[in-house]
Protein backbone atom coordinates (compact mmCIF):
# COMPACT_ATOMS: atom_id res chain seq x y z
CA UNK A 1 0.00 0.00 0.00
CA UNK A 2 1.56 3.32 -1.09
CA UNK A 3 0.14 6.65 0.09
CA UNK A 4 1.22 10.04 -1.19
CA UNK A 5 0.01 13.46 -0.03
CA UNK A 6 1.20 17.00 -0.47
CA UNK A 7 1.55 18.57 2.98
CA UNK A 8 1.49 22.21 3.95
CA UNK A 9 2.72 23.11 7.42
CA UNK A 10 1.15 20.95 10.10
CA UNK A 11 -1.92 19.93 8.13
CA UNK A 12 -2.85 18.59 4.70
CA UNK A 13 -2.89 21.47 2.24
CA UNK A 14 -3.95 19.53 -0.85
CA UNK A 15 -4.69 15.84 -1.35
CA UNK A 16 -2.87 15.40 -4.64
CA UNK A 17 -3.09 11.65 -5.09
CA UNK A 18 -3.85 8.47 -3.24
CA UNK A 19 -2.61 5.27 -4.90
CA UNK A 20 -3.34 2.19 -2.81
CA UNK A 21 -2.38 -1.33 -3.91
CA UNK A 22 -4.04 -4.15 -2.03
CA UNK A 23 -3.26 -7.87 -2.24
CA UNK A 24 -6.27 -9.96 -1.15
CA UNK A 25 -4.20 -13.15 -1.06
CA UNK A 26 -1.83 -11.52 1.43
CA UNK A 27 -4.74 -10.38 3.62
CA UNK A 28 -6.12 -13.94 3.61
CA UNK A 29 -2.74 -15.27 4.75
CA UNK A 30 -2.55 -12.64 7.50
CA UNK A 31 -5.99 -13.72 8.75
CA UNK A 32 -4.94 -17.38 8.76
CA UNK A 33 -1.96 -16.56 11.00
CA UNK A 34 -4.00 -14.57 13.56
CA UNK A 35 -7.51 -16.00 13.45
CA UNK A 36 -10.00 -14.08 15.63
CA UNK A 37 -7.36 -11.50 16.62
CA UNK A 38 -6.80 -10.44 13.00
CA UNK A 39 -7.29 -6.70 12.37
CA UNK A 40 -8.84 -5.98 9.00
CA UNK A 41 -7.24 -3.23 6.92
CA UNK A 42 -9.81 -0.38 6.80
CA UNK A 43 -10.91 1.55 3.73
CA UNK A 44 -8.30 3.80 2.14
CA UNK A 45 -9.65 7.07 3.54
CA UNK A 46 -9.92 5.67 7.06
CA UNK A 47 -6.41 4.24 6.90
CA UNK A 48 -5.01 7.51 5.58
CA UNK A 49 -6.67 9.47 8.38
CA UNK A 50 -5.33 7.06 11.05
CA UNK A 51 -1.83 7.10 9.56
CA UNK A 52 -1.62 10.90 9.43
CA UNK A 53 -2.78 11.04 13.03
CA UNK A 54 -0.09 8.54 14.08
CA UNK A 55 2.56 10.62 12.29
CA UNK A 56 1.29 13.77 14.10
CA UNK A 57 0.42 15.50 10.83
CA UNK A 58 -3.27 16.20 11.55
CA UNK A 59 -3.29 16.67 15.33
CA UNK A 60 -0.22 17.90 17.12
CA UNK A 61 -1.86 18.11 20.53
CA UNK A 62 -0.61 15.75 23.20
CA UNK A 63 -2.22 12.30 22.96
CA UNK A 64 -1.10 10.01 25.76
CA UNK A 65 -0.94 6.65 23.99
CA UNK A 66 0.86 8.22 21.03
CA UNK A 67 3.10 10.85 22.62
CA UNK A 68 3.99 9.47 26.04
CA UNK A 69 7.75 9.29 26.69
CA UNK A 70 7.37 5.71 27.93
CA UNK A 71 6.45 4.57 24.44
CA UNK A 72 9.41 3.12 22.55
CA UNK A 73 10.17 4.89 19.26
CA UNK A 74 10.49 2.26 16.51
CA UNK A 75 10.14 4.54 13.46
CA UNK A 76 9.82 3.96 10.56
CA UNK A 77 7.74 1.08 11.94
CA UNK A 78 4.47 2.23 13.52
CA UNK A 79 1.35 0.86 15.14
CA UNK A 80 -1.65 2.63 13.58
CA UNK A 81 -4.83 2.71 15.67
CA UNK A 82 -8.05 2.09 13.71
CA UNK A 83 -11.65 1.39 14.70
CA UNK A 84 -11.05 -2.33 14.20
CA UNK A 85 -7.85 -2.42 16.27
CA UNK A 86 -4.18 -1.58 15.97
CA UNK A 87 -2.50 -2.25 12.61
CA UNK A 88 1.11 -3.32 13.07
CA UNK A 89 3.72 -3.18 11.61
CA UNK A 90 3.06 -0.20 9.30
CA UNK A 91 6.26 0.95 7.59
CA UNK A 92 6.01 4.67 6.81
CA UNK A 93 8.25 7.67 6.28
CA UNK A 94 7.96 11.20 4.93
CA UNK A 95 10.30 12.52 2.26
CA UNK A 96 9.87 16.12 1.12
CA UNK A 97 6.09 16.55 0.94
CA UNK A 98 5.28 12.89 0.22
CA UNK A 99 4.42 10.01 2.52
CA UNK A 100 5.37 6.42 1.59
CA UNK A 101 3.78 3.60 3.54
CA UNK A 102 3.08 -0.12 3.39
CA UNK A 103 1.72 -2.83 5.66
CA UNK A 104 3.94 -5.92 5.30
CA UNK A 105 2.82 -9.44 6.08
CA UNK A 106 4.07 -11.05 9.30
CA UNK A 107 4.21 -14.79 8.74
CA UNK A 108 3.36 -15.68 12.33
CA UNK A 109 0.88 -14.71 15.05
CA UNK A 110 1.10 -11.08 16.24
CA UNK A 111 0.31 -11.91 19.86
CA UNK A 112 2.70 -11.87 21.56
CA UNK A 113 4.27 -9.27 19.29
CA UNK A 114 7.39 -10.68 17.60
CA UNK A 115 10.68 -8.84 17.38
CA UNK A 116 10.95 -6.35 14.51
CA UNK A 117 14.33 -7.78 13.56
CA UNK A 118 12.79 -11.22 12.99
CA UNK A 119 10.22 -10.00 10.42
CA UNK A 120 11.64 -10.18 6.91
CA UNK A 121 8.58 -8.43 5.45
CA UNK A 122 9.58 -5.16 7.14
CA UNK A 123 12.92 -4.92 5.37
CA UNK A 124 11.31 -6.03 2.09
CA UNK A 125 8.60 -3.41 2.40
CA UNK A 126 11.09 -0.69 3.27
CA UNK A 127 13.24 -1.68 0.32
CA UNK A 128 10.21 -1.46 -2.00
CA UNK A 129 9.24 1.97 -0.64
CA UNK A 130 12.78 3.24 -1.16
CA UNK A 131 12.58 1.93 -4.74
CA UNK A 132 9.36 3.91 -5.23
CA UNK A 133 11.00 6.97 -3.68
CA UNK A 134 13.97 6.63 -6.00
CA UNK A 135 11.62 6.39 -8.97
CA UNK A 136 9.39 9.36 -7.94
CA UNK A 137 12.03 11.81 -6.61
CA UNK A 138 13.61 12.97 -9.92
CA UNK A 139 10.22 14.32 -11.05
CA UNK A 140 9.40 16.38 -7.93
CA UNK A 141 10.06 19.76 -9.57
CA UNK A 142 7.93 19.06 -12.62
CA UNK A 143 4.25 18.61 -11.81
CA UNK A 144 3.38 17.13 -15.20
CA UNK A 145 6.20 14.57 -15.03
CA UNK A 146 5.25 13.74 -11.46
CA UNK A 147 1.65 13.03 -12.45
CA UNK A 148 2.88 10.87 -15.33
CA UNK A 149 5.13 8.80 -13.11
CA UNK A 150 2.44 8.34 -10.50
CA UNK A 151 0.08 7.17 -13.23
CA UNK A 152 2.63 4.54 -14.26
CA UNK A 153 3.24 3.43 -10.69
CA UNK A 154 0.32 0.97 -10.63
CA UNK A 155 1.69 -0.78 -13.68
CA UNK A 156 5.17 -0.93 -12.18
CA UNK A 157 3.85 -2.53 -9.00
CA UNK A 158 2.12 -5.22 -11.06
CA UNK A 159 5.52 -6.26 -12.35
CA UNK A 160 7.68 -5.52 -9.31
CA UNK A 161 5.25 -7.02 -6.79
CA UNK A 162 2.65 -9.08 -8.72
CA UNK A 163 1.22 -11.20 -5.89
CA UNK A 164 2.40 -9.29 -2.83
CA UNK A 165 6.03 -10.42 -2.63
CA UNK A 166 8.58 -7.91 -3.97
CA UNK A 167 10.44 -9.50 -6.88
CA UNK A 168 12.17 -6.33 -8.04
CA UNK A 169 12.59 -3.15 -5.99
CA UNK A 170 14.55 -1.16 -8.55
CA UNK A 171 11.55 0.35 -10.33
CA UNK A 172 13.73 2.38 -12.67
CA UNK A 173 14.92 -0.82 -14.34
CA UNK A 174 11.30 -1.63 -15.22
CA UNK A 175 10.74 1.66 -17.02
CA UNK A 176 11.27 0.16 -20.49
CA UNK A 177 8.50 -2.39 -19.95
CA UNK A 178 5.60 0.09 -19.79
CA UNK A 179 4.32 -0.82 -23.25
CA UNK A 180 4.09 -4.48 -22.27
CA UNK A 181 2.15 -3.88 -19.05
CA UNK A 182 -1.61 -3.46 -19.01
CA UNK A 183 -3.26 -1.10 -16.59
CA UNK A 184 -5.33 -3.53 -14.54
CA UNK A 185 -6.96 -0.76 -12.50
CA UNK A 186 -9.10 0.73 -15.30
CA UNK A 187 -8.56 -0.85 -18.71
CA UNK A 188 -7.56 -4.43 -18.00
CA UNK A 189 -9.11 -7.36 -19.78
CA UNK A 190 -11.36 -9.13 -17.24
CA UNK A 191 -10.28 -12.44 -18.78
CA UNK A 192 -6.60 -11.88 -18.08
CA UNK A 193 -5.52 -14.07 -15.14
CA UNK A 194 -3.55 -12.66 -12.23
CA UNK A 195 -0.45 -14.71 -13.07
CA UNK A 196 -0.03 -12.94 -16.45
CA UNK A 197 1.58 -9.74 -15.19
CA UNK A 198 2.36 -8.41 -18.66
CA UNK A 199 1.64 -9.20 -22.28
CA UNK A 200 4.06 -10.23 -24.99
CA UNK A 201 4.38 -8.60 -28.40
CA UNK A 202 6.12 -10.44 -31.20
CA UNK A 203 6.20 -13.79 -32.95
CA UNK A 204 4.82 -16.67 -30.84
CA UNK A 205 7.50 -18.87 -29.33
CA UNK A 206 7.06 -21.87 -27.00
CA UNK A 207 9.92 -23.62 -25.20
CA UNK A 208 9.36 -26.93 -23.41
CA UNK A 209 11.88 -28.94 -21.40
CA UNK A 210 11.22 -32.38 -19.90
CA UNK A 211 13.70 -33.07 -17.13
CA UNK A 212 13.69 -36.48 -15.45
CA UNK A 213 15.71 -37.41 -12.39
CA UNK A 214 16.29 -41.03 -11.50
CA UNK A 215 16.87 -42.12 -7.90
CA UNK A 216 18.23 -45.57 -7.19
CA UNK A 217 19.32 -47.84 -4.35
CA UNK A 218 21.06 -51.05 -5.43
CA UNK A 219 22.10 -53.62 -2.80
CA UNK A 220 22.81 -56.83 -4.76
CA UNK A 221 21.59 -58.94 -1.83
CA UNK A 222 19.03 -61.73 -1.93
CA UNK A 223 17.04 -60.54 1.07
CA UNK A 224 16.98 -56.86 0.10
CA UNK A 225 15.06 -55.49 -2.84
CA UNK A 226 16.66 -52.87 -5.07
CA UNK A 227 14.50 -49.77 -5.57
CA UNK A 228 14.47 -46.99 -8.16
CA UNK A 229 12.06 -44.35 -9.37
CA UNK A 230 11.83 -41.49 -11.86
CA UNK A 231 10.79 -37.93 -10.98
CA UNK A 232 9.93 -35.71 -13.94
CA UNK A 233 9.26 -31.99 -14.40
CA UNK A 234 7.92 -30.26 -17.51
CA UNK A 235 9.07 -26.63 -17.68
CA UNK A 236 7.54 -24.18 -20.17
CA UNK A 237 8.15 -20.65 -21.41
CA UNK A 238 5.39 -19.27 -23.66
CA UNK A 239 5.95 -15.97 -25.43
CA UNK A 240 2.50 -15.43 -26.93
CA UNK A 241 0.48 -12.32 -27.65
CA UNK A 242 -2.84 -11.75 -25.94
CA UNK A 243 -4.21 -11.18 -22.46
CA UNK A 244 -5.26 -14.81 -21.96
CA UNK A 245 -3.92 -17.04 -24.75
CA UNK A 246 -5.04 -20.66 -24.74
CA UNK A 247 -2.36 -23.30 -25.16
CA UNK A 248 -2.67 -27.08 -25.23
CA UNK A 249 0.40 -29.23 -24.74
CA UNK A 250 0.44 -33.02 -24.95
CA UNK A 251 3.03 -35.36 -23.50
CA UNK A 252 3.46 -38.51 -25.54
CA UNK A 253 4.78 -41.96 -24.65
CA UNK A 254 6.12 -44.62 -27.01
CA UNK A 255 4.38 -47.99 -27.15
CA UNK A 256 6.64 -49.44 -24.46
CA UNK A 257 6.85 -46.23 -22.40
CA UNK A 258 6.33 -46.25 -18.64
CA UNK A 259 3.03 -44.56 -17.56
CA UNK A 260 3.25 -41.28 -15.64
CA UNK A 261 1.98 -41.32 -12.06
CA UNK A 262 1.40 -38.89 -9.18
CA UNK A 263 0.81 -36.04 -11.64
CA UNK A 264 0.68 -32.54 -10.10
CA UNK A 265 -0.17 -29.60 -12.36
CA UNK A 266 0.33 -25.82 -12.26
CA UNK A 267 -2.73 -23.76 -11.29
CA UNK A 268 -2.81 -22.22 -14.79
CA UNK A 269 -4.09 -25.56 -16.21
CA UNK A 270 -7.75 -24.97 -17.07
CA UNK A 271 -9.02 -28.58 -17.32
CA UNK A 272 -7.69 -32.09 -16.95
CA UNK A 273 -8.72 -35.68 -17.60
CA UNK A 274 -9.47 -37.09 -14.15
CA UNK A 275 -7.93 -40.42 -15.17
CA UNK A 276 -4.53 -38.73 -15.25
CA UNK A 277 -4.78 -37.86 -11.56
CA UNK A 278 -5.95 -41.31 -10.47
CA UNK A 279 -2.69 -43.10 -11.29
CA UNK A 280 -0.69 -43.36 -8.08
CA UNK A 281 2.63 -45.01 -7.30
CA UNK A 282 1.53 -45.76 -3.73
CA UNK A 283 -0.93 -48.51 -4.69
CA UNK A 284 1.31 -51.11 -6.33
CA UNK A 285 -1.67 -53.43 -6.91
CA UNK A 286 -3.43 -50.89 -9.12
CA UNK A 287 -2.98 -51.91 -12.76
CA UNK A 288 -5.18 -49.15 -14.22
CA UNK A 289 -2.33 -46.78 -14.96
CA UNK A 290 -3.24 -44.06 -17.44
CA UNK A 291 -0.94 -44.31 -20.46
CA UNK A 292 -1.87 -41.11 -22.26
CA UNK A 293 -2.10 -38.99 -24.16
CA UNK A 294 -1.45 -36.50 -21.39
CA UNK A 295 -3.14 -33.26 -22.50
CA UNK A 296 -2.69 -30.00 -20.58
CA UNK A 297 -4.79 -27.01 -21.71
CA UNK A 298 -3.60 -23.86 -19.93
CA UNK A 299 -3.24 -20.08 -19.95
CA UNK A 300 0.51 -19.62 -19.49
CA UNK A 301 2.13 -17.20 -17.04
CA UNK A 302 4.41 -14.52 -18.45
CA UNK A 303 7.60 -16.16 -17.23
CA UNK A 304 9.02 -19.67 -17.21
CA UNK A 305 7.02 -22.10 -15.06
CA UNK A 306 6.70 -25.80 -14.20
CA UNK A 307 3.62 -27.03 -16.06
CA UNK A 308 3.54 -30.35 -14.22
CA UNK A 309 5.55 -32.89 -12.28
CA UNK A 310 5.20 -36.66 -12.14
CA UNK A 311 6.75 -39.92 -11.05
CA UNK A 312 7.10 -43.22 -12.88
CA UNK A 313 8.13 -46.78 -12.13
CA UNK A 314 10.38 -47.88 -14.98
CA UNK A 315 11.16 -51.62 -15.33
CA UNK A 316 14.95 -51.33 -14.90
CA UNK A 317 17.42 -48.68 -13.77
CA UNK A 318 19.59 -47.17 -16.51
CA UNK A 319 22.86 -48.48 -15.04
CA UNK A 320 23.12 -51.74 -13.13
CA UNK A 321 26.04 -52.05 -10.76
CA UNK A 322 27.77 -54.29 -8.27
CA UNK A 323 30.16 -53.03 -5.58
CA UNK A 324 32.26 -55.28 -3.36
CA UNK A 325 34.58 -54.06 -0.63
CA UNK A 326 36.64 -56.39 1.59
CA UNK A 327 39.17 -55.63 4.29
CA UNK A 328 42.40 -57.63 3.98
CA UNK A 329 44.86 -56.71 6.70
CA UNK A 330 45.78 -53.04 6.42
CA UNK A 331 44.31 -52.80 2.94
CA UNK A 332 40.84 -52.52 1.41
CA UNK A 333 40.17 -54.49 -1.72
CA UNK A 334 37.46 -53.03 -3.94
CA UNK A 335 35.66 -54.12 -7.09
CA UNK A 336 33.06 -52.22 -9.12
CA UNK A 337 31.17 -53.53 -12.16
CA UNK A 338 28.77 -51.35 -14.15
CA UNK A 339 26.50 -52.21 -17.05
CA UNK A 340 24.49 -49.77 -19.15
CA UNK A 341 21.10 -51.20 -20.05
CA UNK A 342 20.70 -51.74 -23.79
CA UNK A 343 17.57 -49.56 -23.92
CA UNK A 344 19.46 -46.49 -22.68
CA UNK A 345 20.90 -43.93 -25.06
CA UNK A 346 24.69 -44.31 -24.95
CA UNK A 347 25.56 -40.61 -25.17
CA UNK A 348 26.31 -38.75 -21.94
CA UNK A 349 27.13 -35.15 -21.16
CA UNK A 350 29.11 -36.62 -18.30
CA UNK A 351 29.27 -39.87 -16.37
CA UNK A 352 31.37 -40.70 -13.33
CA UNK A 353 31.36 -42.94 -10.27
CA UNK A 354 32.63 -41.78 -6.89
CA UNK A 355 33.95 -44.10 -4.17
CA UNK A 356 34.22 -42.27 -0.81
CA UNK A 357 36.13 -43.79 2.11
CA UNK A 358 34.82 -42.43 5.40
CA UNK A 359 36.18 -42.67 8.95
CA UNK A 360 39.68 -43.51 7.70
CA UNK A 361 42.89 -41.61 7.21
CA UNK A 362 44.09 -40.30 3.82
CA UNK A 363 44.86 -42.79 1.07
CA UNK A 364 48.62 -43.33 1.03
CA UNK A 365 48.81 -46.12 -1.52
CA UNK A 366 46.52 -46.86 -4.47
CA UNK A 367 46.56 -49.74 -6.91
CA UNK A 368 43.90 -50.17 -9.56
CA UNK A 369 42.95 -51.73 -12.85
CA UNK A 370 40.29 -50.04 -14.94
CA UNK A 371 38.76 -51.48 -18.12
CA UNK A 372 37.44 -48.15 -19.34
CA UNK A 373 37.81 -44.46 -18.46
CA UNK A 374 40.27 -43.14 -15.90
CA UNK A 375 40.59 -43.05 -12.11
CA UNK A 376 41.50 -39.93 -10.13
CA UNK A 377 42.27 -39.40 -6.46
CA UNK A 378 40.74 -36.34 -4.83
CA UNK A 379 42.92 -33.64 -3.31
CA UNK A 380 41.80 -34.66 0.20
CA UNK A 381 42.89 -38.24 -0.64
CA UNK A 382 39.65 -39.73 0.67
CA UNK A 383 37.68 -40.11 -2.56
CA UNK A 384 38.22 -42.08 -5.77
CA UNK A 385 36.63 -40.55 -8.88
CA UNK A 386 36.10 -42.92 -11.80
CA UNK A 387 35.61 -40.70 -14.86
CA UNK A 388 33.71 -42.83 -17.37
CA UNK A 389 33.23 -40.03 -19.89
CA UNK A 390 30.55 -39.57 -22.53
CA UNK A 391 30.10 -43.16 -23.68
CA UNK A 392 30.20 -46.78 -22.54
CA UNK A 393 32.11 -49.23 -24.76
CA UNK A 394 30.25 -51.43 -27.25
CA UNK A 395 29.96 -54.19 -24.67
CA UNK A 396 28.14 -51.70 -22.38
CA UNK A 397 30.06 -53.23 -19.44
CA UNK A 398 33.00 -51.74 -17.53
CA UNK A 399 34.91 -52.67 -14.39
CA UNK A 400 37.27 -51.23 -11.79
CA UNK A 401 39.32 -53.26 -9.29
CA UNK A 402 42.15 -52.45 -6.94
CA UNK A 403 43.37 -51.90 -3.37
CA UNK A 404 43.84 -48.87 -1.14
CA UNK A 405 45.96 -48.31 1.96
CA UNK A 406 45.30 -45.56 4.49
CA UNK A 407 47.43 -43.43 6.76
CA UNK A 408 46.54 -42.34 10.30
CA UNK A 409 43.38 -40.29 10.87
CA UNK A 410 43.59 -36.50 11.02
CA UNK A 411 41.19 -33.69 11.91
CA UNK A 412 40.33 -33.35 8.22
CA UNK A 413 39.31 -37.02 7.94
CA UNK A 414 35.72 -37.22 6.59
CA UNK A 415 33.33 -39.04 8.91
CA UNK A 416 29.93 -40.63 8.49
CA UNK A 417 27.73 -42.28 11.13
CA UNK A 418 26.18 -44.71 8.61
CA UNK A 419 29.19 -45.87 6.64
CA UNK A 420 31.05 -47.69 9.40
CA UNK A 421 33.50 -50.48 8.61
CA UNK A 422 32.75 -52.03 5.24
CA UNK A 423 29.37 -50.36 4.88
CA UNK A 424 30.14 -48.17 1.87
CA UNK A 425 28.76 -47.16 -1.48
CA UNK A 426 29.49 -46.02 -5.01
CA UNK A 427 27.53 -42.96 -6.12
CA UNK A 428 26.88 -42.34 -9.81
CA UNK A 429 26.64 -38.93 -11.46
CA UNK A 430 25.46 -38.64 -15.05
CA UNK A 431 23.34 -36.66 -17.49
CA UNK A 432 21.94 -37.92 -20.81
CA UNK A 433 20.66 -35.16 -23.14
CA UNK A 434 17.69 -35.63 -25.47
CA UNK A 435 16.50 -38.72 -23.57
CA UNK A 436 13.96 -39.64 -20.89
CA UNK A 437 13.75 -42.92 -19.03
CA UNK A 438 9.96 -43.04 -19.37
CA UNK A 439 10.17 -42.28 -23.09
CA UNK A 440 8.09 -39.14 -22.52
CA UNK A 441 8.50 -36.53 -25.27
CA UNK A 442 6.90 -33.48 -26.90
CA UNK A 443 6.73 -33.03 -30.67
CA UNK A 444 5.83 -30.04 -32.86
CA UNK A 445 2.25 -31.22 -33.40
CA UNK A 446 1.52 -31.76 -29.70
CA UNK A 447 1.56 -28.02 -28.95
CA UNK A 448 -1.54 -26.11 -30.05
CA UNK A 449 -1.95 -22.34 -29.82
CA UNK A 450 -5.31 -20.69 -30.28
CA UNK A 451 -3.80 -17.40 -31.44
CA UNK A 452 -2.77 -15.90 -34.80
CA UNK A 453 0.62 -16.77 -36.25
CA UNK A 454 2.52 -20.01 -36.55
CA UNK A 455 4.46 -20.60 -33.33
CA UNK A 456 8.07 -21.63 -33.11
CA UNK A 457 8.36 -24.71 -30.87
CA UNK A 458 11.56 -25.69 -29.11
CA UNK A 459 11.55 -28.88 -27.06
CA UNK A 460 14.30 -30.65 -25.15
CA UNK A 461 14.70 -33.63 -22.82
CA UNK A 462 17.23 -34.81 -20.28
CA UNK A 463 17.84 -37.59 -17.78
CA UNK A 464 19.86 -36.75 -14.66
CA UNK A 465 21.01 -38.99 -11.83
CA UNK A 466 19.93 -38.01 -8.32
CA UNK A 467 20.92 -40.01 -5.23
CA UNK A 468 22.03 -42.95 -7.35
CA UNK A 469 23.70 -45.38 -4.92
CA UNK A 470 25.25 -48.83 -5.29
CA UNK A 471 25.97 -50.27 -1.84
CA UNK A 472 28.70 -52.73 -0.90
CA UNK A 473 27.10 -56.16 -1.24
CA UNK A 474 29.58 -57.64 1.27
CA UNK A 475 28.27 -55.58 4.19
CA UNK A 476 24.99 -54.36 5.69
CA UNK A 477 23.49 -51.20 4.25
CA UNK A 478 20.69 -48.81 5.25
CA UNK A 479 17.34 -50.00 3.90
CA UNK A 480 14.56 -47.71 2.73
CA UNK A 481 11.08 -49.07 2.13
CA UNK A 482 9.58 -48.34 -1.23
CA UNK A 483 6.72 -46.25 0.16
CA UNK A 484 9.21 -43.97 1.91
CA UNK A 485 11.62 -43.72 -1.00
CA UNK A 486 11.32 -40.13 -2.19
- Tell me, yes or no, whether 143 and 210 share the same domain: no
Predicted confidence (pLDDT) per residue in 317-354, tens digit: 999 999 999 988 779 999 999 999 999 999 999 999 99
The answer to whether residue 339 sits within a structural domain is yes
Q: What is the CATH number for 143?
A: 3.30.450
pLDDT tens digits along 52-87 = 888 888 877 888 878 788 788 888 999 999 998 999
Q: What is the pLDDT of residues 23-34, one digit of tens each?
A: 888 888 999 999
| Same domain flag for 423 and 326 | yes
How far are the Cα atoms of 5, 49, 124, 481 from residue 18, in angstroms, in the given order? 7, 12, 22, 60
Work out the pLDDT band at 418, boundaries 50, 70, 90: confident
User: Mean pLDDT for the chain?
Assistant: 84
Q: Give how many domains the chain has, as a whole number.
A: 3
Residues 155 and 123 reside in one and the same domain: yes
Residues forming a β-bridge with 468? 216, 428
The answer on 222 and 312 residing in a single domain is yes
Looking at residue 286, what is its pLDDT? 53
| Domain encompassing residue 243 | 205-316+438-461
162 and 30 within one domain: yes
Residues 6+ apart with CB under 8 A from 195: 162, 163, 267, 268, 301, 302
Handedness of CA 478, 483, 485, 486 (dihedral sign): negative
- What is the per-residue pLDDT for 141? 63
- pTM (two decimals): 0.63
CATH number at residue 422: 2.60.40.1170
Please indicate, yes or no, if residue 481 is contained in any of the structural domains. Answer: no
Is 259 a domain residue?
A: yes
Residues in the chain: 486
Query: Are 136 and 27 within one domain?
Result: yes
Amino acid sequence: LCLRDVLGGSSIKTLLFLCPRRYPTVEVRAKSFNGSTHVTVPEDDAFLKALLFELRLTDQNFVEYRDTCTRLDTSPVYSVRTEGGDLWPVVAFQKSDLIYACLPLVEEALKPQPSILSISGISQGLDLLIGILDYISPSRKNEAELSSRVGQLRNLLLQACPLGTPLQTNLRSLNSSFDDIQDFSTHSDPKQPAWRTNTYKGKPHVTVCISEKVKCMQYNQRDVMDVWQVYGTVTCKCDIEGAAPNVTLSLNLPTNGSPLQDIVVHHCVTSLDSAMLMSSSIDSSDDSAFSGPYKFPFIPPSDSFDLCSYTSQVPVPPILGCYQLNEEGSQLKYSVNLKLHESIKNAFDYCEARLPFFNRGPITHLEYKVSYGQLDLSREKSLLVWVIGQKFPKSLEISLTGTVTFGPKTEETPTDIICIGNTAYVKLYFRIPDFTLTGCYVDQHSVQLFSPGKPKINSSRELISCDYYIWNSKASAPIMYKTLFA
